[in-house]
Structure 1
C-alpha cells in the first residue's frame, strides 16, 4: 500500500513537471523564432543563450526516455531521433504474446487460451524439476566432513529479519534492476531506505509471523525475450 501511495504521488508530480517542462520548451522555441526575425545571422548573445537553454532541456527529455527504455548505450554518441521517442512503445510491442503455436501445431490467438497454455507449460516444467529433486538423497550425499552449523549459528539465522540483515542485502543488490512487479528500482530503495525501511521490514516480518506472503509477492511476470532468427510464436 505504501508503494502504491508513492506511485500515485510520483505520477501526479511527474505529470505536473512534464507540463511545466513542455510549456518552457514551447516558450523558448517561440522566443527563438522571435529573435531570429531580428537577428538573421543568429549570432546575438540572447539568441545563443536561449538556444543553449533549449538544447539542455531537450537533452534532459532524451535522457529520461533513454533511462526508461534501459538503453545501456546512453553515452555512446547516439543522436536525438524519432527512434528514441518511440523506443518504449516498440519494445512493448515486441514482447507481447499475440499468438502461440501449441505442441499439436494449432495456433491460438485468444488471450485466455494463451494464458492457459503458458500456465500449463510452466506447471509441467517445474513439476519435472520437482520430481528430479525428490529423487536426490541429500543425507546420503552429505559426508561427515561437510561443515555443519552449530546450534547457536542455526538459531542466529532463524526468526524475524533485522534492519542490519535487510540493509546488507540491499547494499549488495545491483542497480538498474526492478526487484518486483511494482517497477520500483533498486536505486529507489537505496535512496529512500532511511525513510521506508521500517515499513519494509515490518511487512517482511508480518509475512514471517503469519506464514503467508502478500499477493504481490506470489505473482510472476512472464516476459517474452525475442530471439534473433526464431519465431516469437
Structure 2
C-alpha cells in the first residue's frame, strides 16, 4: 500500500512538472489517453462486429435515443400509472436524505 502511494505521488509530481505545459510529454499523454478511450469495435445485436467509426457512432446514438425515448402510453395505462403512484411517497425522508448525501464508499463506486 505504501509503495502504491509513493508511485502515485511520483507520477503526480512528474505530471505537475511536465504535463501542465504544452510539451511533447503533454501531447504524448493526451494521445495515449485518447487512444485508450476510443471505441474501435462494436458488436451489434446479432454478434456482428462493426468497425466503421461513423456506423459505430450511429448505432450508439440510436441506442441512447431508443433507451430514453418516452414509450407511447394509452389512456388506460396513464390511469393505471396514476393509481399506482398514489401509493408512492413524493418526498424524501430524513433517513433517505442522509443516504443520498452520504459520500459513496470505494466499493460502491
- TM-score normalised by the shorter chain: which range applies? 0.3 to 0.5
Q: TM-score, normalised by structure 2?
A: 0.44
Q: Which has the larger radius of gyration?
A: 1
Q: TM-score, normalised by structure 1?
A: 0.23
